[in-house]
Amino acid sequence: MFINYFIILILIKISMAVRNKEIDENYQRLIPLNQIPNGCEHSKENDGNINEPAKEYGFVENIGLEKCKVWLDEEQSASSDEDGHYERYKCKHLRVHGHFNDEKGKCECKTNWKGLICNEFNGCPVNHSYFLNVCTPNVCQHDGQLALGSKHIECICKAPWDGRFCERLACWRMADKEHERRWRNSKDHCKCADNYSGENCEIIISCQNGEFINEKCQCAEGWTGEICDRKCTPGLTCGAISLLFGNKLNSFLAFLIILFALAFNRS
């Protein structure tokens, strides 16, 4: 009996998994800046190890965040970055408020900005940034974490926040892909969407295209989903497993859990 309750708890947990923002718009995992080493000597040993992408970069003293292989090549080479290609790249990808100085051919911080990644504002207290006309200890809002993405420096965000600097409410992040419609944005906080209730919006209280019987939705013909909100694929029968477990990953996990339960009950 205990194992059955345990399985139910796991399945509920799967359906309520929050999705923090940890991947950028190019589907690359964000690298927390606090994982990037100081200096660039480590890159000689790393040699592009794809398992340690943070070591491709380094914080060079009095200069800033650098892509180590390129920076070392420039430092050791007689030829300089005459066309400013790397410096332009640096301004776009490795600085929060960078500006390419055409006369000097160098990436600099924009006016009133400073710091190794140009994220400290001169008009604010030491080590503070400036966002939406307010001085803040961190340019990342809502307890976000500075990170390096494939496009630029942005923030790792805790659900339900999204955006480059965790400034945008995204309540769909409060659940897995299959159940993201349980939540709805409401100004500066999240609330349950229509048809749902409960602390985690996990309780179904009504159906869109079906009857609410025994705290579950029995969908009308041609409809599927936990609140009967999706049309069945033409020519196919709506499967019960999709109603229970949703996406393919959750279905696979649920299948493994059920097999484990059967084996445990037989033993």
C-alpha to C-alpha distances, 72 to 44, 59, 81, nearest whole angstrom = 9, 13, 12
What is the DSSP secondary structure assignment for residue 238, as one 8-state letter? P
Average pLDDT taken over every residue of the chain = 84
Instruction: Put residue 43 in one of left, alpha, beta given phi > 0 → left and psi -120 to 50 → alpha.
Output: alpha
- What are φ and ψ of residue 13, in 5° steps? -60, -40
pLDDT tens-place values along the chain, 267 residues long: 545 444 443 444 444 589 999 999 999 999 999 999 999 988 776 555 556 888 999 999 999 999 999 998 877 654 556 668 999 999 999 999 999 999 999 999 999 999 999 999 999 999 999 998 999 999 999 999 999 999 999 999 999 999 999 999 999 999 999 899 999 999 999 999 999 999 999 999 999 999 999 999 999 999 999 999 999 988 666 754 444 444 444 445 555 665 665 565 555
Q: Please report the pLDDT score of residue 146 as a whole number.
A: 98
HSE-up (13 A, CA, CB side) for residue 141: 17
Whole-angstrom Cα Rg for the chain: 25
Q: Please report the pLDDT score of residue 56 as a whole number.
A: 93
- Give 104-145 pLDDT, tens digit per residue: 999 999 999 999 999 999 999 999 999 989 999 999 999 999
CB atoms within 10 A of CB 162: 21
Residue 65: closest CA among 49, 54, 80? 54
Q: Please report the pLDDT score of residue 73 as a whole number.
A: 85
Tokens linked to 243: 């109603």
**Three-state SS at 155:** strand
Q: Please report the pLDDT score of residue 207 as a whole number.
A: 97
